[in-house]
Amino acid sequence: MPPAPPPGPPPPGQGATAELLARVPKLLDAMRSVGSGLELHSTLNRICETAADLANARYAAIGVIDEDGYGLAEFVHHGVDGPTARRIGHLPDGHKGLLGALIRDPEPIRLTDLAEDPRSCGFPQHHPPMRSFLGVPIRVQGEIFGNLYLSGKLAGEPFDDYDLAMVRVLATEAGIAIGNARLYEAAQQRERWIDGSVAVTTALLSGGDMDEALQVVAEQARRLSGARAGIVLLPADGGGLEIVAVAAQHSTNALGTVIPPDNGIVAELLEGRPMFVDDAATDPRMDDGPVRGYGPVMLLPLCSDGRVLGGLVMPRARGDRPYTRTERALGDRFASQAALALMMADAQRDRERLAVYEDRDRIARDLHDLVIQRLFATGMMLESAQRRELPPEVRDGVGGAVDELDVTIQEIRSAIFALRQPDEAPEGLRTRVLREIAMAAVPLGFTPSHRFIGPVDTAVGDLTGKNLIAALRETLSNAFRHAGATRIDVMVDATVTLPDGRPGVRLTVADDGIGIPEGGRRSGLRNLERRAETVGGTSRVGPGIGRDGSGTAVLWEAPY
């Protein structure tokens, strides 16, 4: 095969000038069409369609070369319909054949018959037949971005010099359009990661529920990275890393799983080293981790000021493209920002806890130094009055008042002792439920009734109990903001048998309010469902306790 002619249109002669001039308007239209958008994938599709129309070709494609320069990261095609493409299966990877030759030697290739070229390796099953071929490299800012392929001249003849000249001009314009699209896409991508970092920082520093804030971290990581899941890991009490938040397309029971310290993932993350895996399903380091069975995975340490706080894992599905250098850099910055916000949130909670301790100590001192002394003095005065000549009924009344004062003094002393106890000792589930009810009574204007059934404190595990308390808080908040209820009943039943036969606990919060209006917001109910699913449970609503079943009853249940 003779070498391809040099760049530019062919020399005039034998009607070449007339032929070229006839194609110039079409070329100008093609160039205008190629540069009319900024979204990268749409730009690639538009280049394929425009090149096929310009050269009167049936098929066109662009192979985007991967970062290593040894194969194709993306393959955009035109002319092959959807059913045929699905039957063909995997897209070419550029490691062999003519596509690989263009990657290794980015010079134009023009063939009359593909089958006669020794570099051709044939077509896969179900691929449409192709003979004529034209391949031209696309350069973006002087670097090879990929190659433009054309095949199947509509009239049946091979591609000529004019086709090559036009397509090379179009490839130059395509390089400019692709460069602009890549810059725009990179700016958009950075903006999305920055917005995600802001959302994470706001959630962690808002002073709200820590579990909810960590869930925001997981959800933002999944959304921004295009992963199937976002997983947050924090150090476990007994060593290793515990999965404390999971955002996935499907429900999972991974929450609360502890990855042992001898796992390779744990060692790398706790050393502050990121890990990037192309296929977790075949990587032996992933055998015992939370991402086995996935494809490309980005594992990043949550590291700030030299301190490793945990890890962030973002697995993609098998067959998805690996993470690019840009995505790895953006993910690493996101993890650093999340770690900094996490450390600041810890410091903020420590300050708030210290303020609470100081306030408790002040209250305890005031109760001891002022209130008890005054009550004691009042009791002494009543005892002195009791020794005087008084009618029997008055003496009995004074004696009863003295007894009540003694009881009150003992209760205040017990309260002082409780105020001065540290909060580090674990509380039972029953105590935490009562605290939530007492806190909700202030905005509600009344205290919800409560009932406990079964071994609530001993049977319900810490993870389920933590999520039950969060569900109770969410439900009481919804009742206050939306229900307009005058009565709320709370029941925690630890004797429930779940539909799958496992023992579990059920939280029921019923009110006599207005119920759930048609078309009303369901974000609170979705939060309850998601929280139940993370621990293998369910959440649903039913009729309330008002007249004729008015109001709402939320039933949240999960295994121990």
Look at residue 345 and give its three-state secondary structure.
helix
Q: Is residue 375 within 8 Å of residue 405, measured between CB atoms?
A: yes
* Residue 19 pLDDT: 60
Token pair in block for residue 454: 């079964």
Q: Is residue 275 within 8 Å of residue 258, measured between CB atoms?
A: no
**Helix spans in 420-488 (H):** 429-444, 456-459, 462-478
* Residue 136 pLDDT: 93
Q: Is residue 165 within 8 Å of residue 9, measured between CB atoms?
A: yes
Q: Is residue 234 within 8 Å of residue 270, measured between CB atoms?
A: no
The long-range contacts involving 360-365, CB below 8 angstroms and separated by at least 24 positions, are 360/419, 360/420, 361/419, 361/420, 363/419, 364/416, 364/419, 364/420
Q: What is the pLDDT along the chain (560 residues), one digit of tens a residue?
A: 444 444 444 444 444 456 656 667 766 776 777 666 677 888 888 888 888 988 889 999 998 888 777 788 888 899 998 888 888 887 888 888 888 888 888 899 999 998 888 888 878 888 888 889 999 999 888 888 889 999 998 878 899 888 898 888 888 888 888 888 888 888 888 888 988 888 888 888 877 677 788 888 999 999 999 999 999 999 987 788 988 889 887 777 788 888 888 887 888 898 899 999 988 888 887 777 778 888 999 999 999 888 899 999 999 998 888 898 889 999 999 999 899 888 888 777 777 777 767 777 777 777 767 677 777 777 777 777 767 777 777 777 777 777 777 767 666 765 665 555 555 545 789 888 988 888 888 778 888 999 999 889 889 998 899 899 989 988 998 888 777 889 999 999 999 999 889 999 999 999 998 887 776 555 678 888 888 888 899 999 999 998 888 899 999 999 98
- Tell me, what amino acid is at 104? R
- Tell me, what amino acid is at 173? E
* Geometric angle at alpha carbon 500, from 498 and 505, rounded to 5°: 20
* Residue 414 pLDDT: 58
Distance between CA atoms of residues 443 and 448, nearest Å: 12
Residue 228 neighbours by CB under 8 Å, 6+ apart? 222, 248, 249, 294, 315, 316, 317
* Residue 298 pLDDT: 94
Burial 156-174 (b: 16+ CB within 10 A, else e): eeebebbbbbbbbbbbebb
Distance between CA atoms of residues 482 and 320, nearest Å: 43
- pTM (two decimals): 0.57
The number of C-alpha atoms within 13 Å of 486 and in the hemisphere containing its C-beta is 3
